[in-house]
């Protein structure tokens, strides 16, 4: 693209009623930098042969002036909308909101906006939202959900735009990003062992969930490798109530662990409350590790909950970056991408 067409893509937008100042243009940037419009275009569009020092200086000046692209004009030039769709059945937002924050962060430097649609588990509503995204000519779609082993209730095959999957099941020929649940669970158990715990229990969610299976497998293998006894995994609902009930079952049966790895932070909070009722001190008598790092739960637990962070914001950021590469026609390795989890040590 020559500099005149590039400038048409970054020209002044119409001024809204009441606005007193005009938009900063490439002419303003070039003047302030003491370079030609062509040189400014090369620096800001990352094209052409200019020195790295000059490119950096011009971009810094552009940032100081408050220069930003005219997305509408640029989309007309490039035939792109600079909008991506985010389609999810996680209407509560527990997983989608941090993923979306990461997507937005990953795309902001590309001038791309995110168009969010939630569909619950309603195929008809999902189809309506998908059609709306395509009508808006989104450049691509990120499909996300609340289970890595369940597909969204909508057919995303044979669409005219690239698709990236995050926290939901995707086809083998697509890019699907998920947390590494096995690695995260191992981190949790290794931490409990490192604090001197030798009788470690695992209280988790329904056995039908793939993440539950992976975390339980990591729990079992890590204990075996350490030469510690492996108790039966206790399965229940993803709730504080189940955590409370599980402690009641353990104490009634005489199986009193000194360390407990919980399948999520809600279960862990129920466990902590149930132990307090029995005058069991956390972490003096029993250490607790949760999973999710749901801060509204983990930080308000007393003591604050040590837990595993799935790094959902980073997962979203990478999903956005991958989608940009696909939109640009770059080669991207297809298949399942597992992103590492992180241990967050607090007081439990």
Could you tell me the CATH number of the domain that includes residue 95?
A: 3.40.50.2300
Domain containing 33 — which CATH number? 1.10.260.40
> What are the structure tokens assigned to 206, written together?
């329904």
Residues 263 and 116 in one domain: no
Residue where a domain stops, chosen among 77, 112, 134: 77
Residues 135 and 188 in one domain: no
Mean of all residue pLDDT scores within the chain: 87
Query: Would 346 be classed as within a structural domain?
Result: no
Residues 33 and 140 in one domain: no
Q: What mean pLDDT is predicted for residues 179-200?
A: 98
Residues 205 and 232 in one domain: yes
Q: How confident is the model at residue 259, as a pLDDT?
A: 98
Residue where a domain stops, chosen among 32, 53, 77: 77
Query: Would 347 be classed as within a structural domain?
Result: no
Q: How confident is the model at residue 329, as a pLDDT?
A: 85
Spatial neighbors of 298 by CB under 8 A, at least 6 apart, are: 265, 268, 290, 292, 304, 305, 307, 344, 346
Residues above pLDDT 70, as percent of the chain: 89
Q: What is the pTM of this model?
A: 0.77
Q: 106-139: string of b/e by CB count within 10 Å (b at 16+)? A: bbeebebebbbbbbeeeeebbeebbeebeeeebb
Residues 203 and 303 in one domain: yes
Is the predicted pLDDT of residue 17 greater than 80, yes or no? no
Q: 261-284 pLDDT, tens per residue?
A: 999 999 999 999 999 999 999 999
Query: Would 273 be classed as within a structural domain?
Result: yes
Q: How confident is the model at residue 71, as a pLDDT?
A: 53
* End-to-end alpha carbon distance in the chain: 58
DSSP for 32-63, please give it.
HHTS-HHHHHHHHHT-SS--HHHHHHHHHHHH
Q: How confident is the model at residue 16, as a pLDDT?
A: 37
Query: Would 57 be classed as within a structural domain?
Result: yes
Number of domains in the chain: 3
Identify the domain containing residue 62 by its residue range: 3-77
Residues 199 and 304 in one domain: yes
């Amino acid at each position: 693209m020559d500099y005149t067409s590039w400038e048409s893509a970054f020209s002044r937008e119409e001024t809204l009623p009441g606005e007193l100042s005009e938009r900063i243009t490439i002419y303003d940037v070039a003047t302030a930098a003491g370079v030609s419009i062509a040189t400014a275009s090369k620096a800001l569009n990352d094209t052409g042969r200019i020195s790295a020092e000059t490119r950096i200086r011009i971009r810094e000046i552009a940032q100081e002036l408050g220069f930003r692209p005219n997305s509408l004009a640029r989309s007309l030039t490039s035939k792109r909308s600079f909008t991506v769709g985010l389609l999810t059945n996680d209407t509560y937002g527990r997983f989608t909101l941090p993923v979306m924050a990461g997507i937005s962060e990953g795309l902001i430097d590309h001038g791309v906006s995110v168009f969010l649609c939630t569909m619950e588990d309603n195929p008809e509503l999902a189809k309506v939202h998908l059609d709306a995204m395509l009508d808006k000519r989104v450049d691509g779609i990120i499909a996300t959900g609340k289970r890595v082993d369940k597909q969204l209730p909508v057919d995303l095959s044979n669409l005219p735009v690239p698709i990236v999957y995050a926290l939901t099941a995707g086809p083998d020929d697509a890019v699907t990003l998920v947390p590494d649940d096995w690695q995260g669970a191992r981190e949790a158990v290794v931490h409990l062992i490192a604090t001197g715990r030798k009788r470690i229990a695992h209280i988790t969610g329904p056995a039908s969930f793939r993440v539950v299976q992976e975390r339980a497998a990591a729990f079992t293998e890590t204990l075996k490798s350490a030469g510690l006894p492996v108790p039966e995994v206790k399965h229940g609902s993803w709730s504080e109530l189940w955590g409370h009930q599980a402690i009641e079952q353990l104490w009634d049966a005489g199986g009193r662990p000194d360390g407990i790895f919980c399948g999520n932070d809600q279960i862990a909070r129920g466990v902590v409350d149930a132990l307090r009722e029995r005058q069991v001190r956390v972490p003096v008598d029993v250490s607790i590790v949760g999973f999710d790092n749901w801060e509204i739960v983990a930080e308000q637990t007393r003591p604050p909950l040590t837990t595993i962070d799935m790094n959902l914001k980073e997962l979203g950021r990478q999903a956005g970056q991958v989608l940009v590469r696909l939109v640009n026609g770059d080669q991207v390795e297809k298949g399942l991408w597992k992103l590492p989890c992180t241990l967050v040590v607090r007081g439990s």
